A and B are shown apart, each in its own frame.
Chain A
Amino acid sequence: DQQVKQNSPSLSVQEGRISILNCDYTNSMFDYFLWYKKYPAEGPTFLISISSIKDKNEDGRFTVFLNKSAKHLSLHIVPSQPGDSAVYFCAASEDATDSWGKLQFGAGTQVVVTP
């Protein structure tokens, strides 16, 4: 059973507008959350992360929001650019000594930014 869920398999947005990607999780032990971006024929690359002690983290055009009570996080991309067209994966990890930094990934959301 997937512990990290991205319920929107795809998202289409106009260039210059905001992209909002959503992610829900079920494991209350998760304490660190990451977003990865993946282009076709390439491996995922780290985009932005957030610790459970925060509710917002911003890096340039990318902002991640965390709502722990709702077990929900979102990634905002403002403004969206054609180069943002990619698959975005949400991932989470537990704060446990034997977790070894293992990540649980969502199914991904394909973002298409149109001119």
Chain B
Amino acid sequence: DVKVTQSSRYLVKRTGEKVFLECVQDMDHENMFWYRQDPGLGLRLIYFSYDVKMKEKGDIPEGYSVSREKKERFSLILESASTNQTSMYLCASSLLSGGVSTDTQYFGPGTRLTVL
């Protein structure tokens, strides 16, 4: 079974703080993704990575950065947290098979971030 874990289930931070959200997957997946989930908006892609040290912007990258130093770990960084970044953050991974990305993504349990 694929397991994707996220470092915290709940996090409360203050405006202006630097926030790190960590994600680890144990299935040797090449692709990793960060989403945020907001009511009425579904899941929106922030950043993704298809290899170590590689990163690509998703649909809403503003205010975020990412780091992928090891294949199994993908970190989301909020350089200066703001109240509009209060959200549920979900990490996911998927397999690259034969040079083709598979579409099924496996998700972690999520981190509920509140910025005060």
Contact = CB atoms under 8 A, between A and B. Distances in A.
A20 interface: no
**What does DSSP make chain A's interface, helix, strand, loop or mixed?**
loop
Nearest to B99: A97
B101 A101 contact: yes
Interface in A66-115: 89, 91, 93, 99-108
Contacts of A107: 40-42
A65 interface: no
Residue of A32, A43, A91, A101 with highest tally of chain B CB at under 10 A: A101
Given A105-B44, A107-B41, A107-B42, A42 B109 contact: yes
Given A41-B110, A100-B50, A106 B42 contact: yes
Interface of B: 4, 9, 31, 33, 35, 40-45, 48, 50, 56, 58, 90, 92, 94, 96, 101-110
Given A100-B48, A102-B48, A103-B43, 7 more contacts: A43-B108, A46-B105, A100-B50, A101-B96, A105-B43, A105-B44, A107-B40
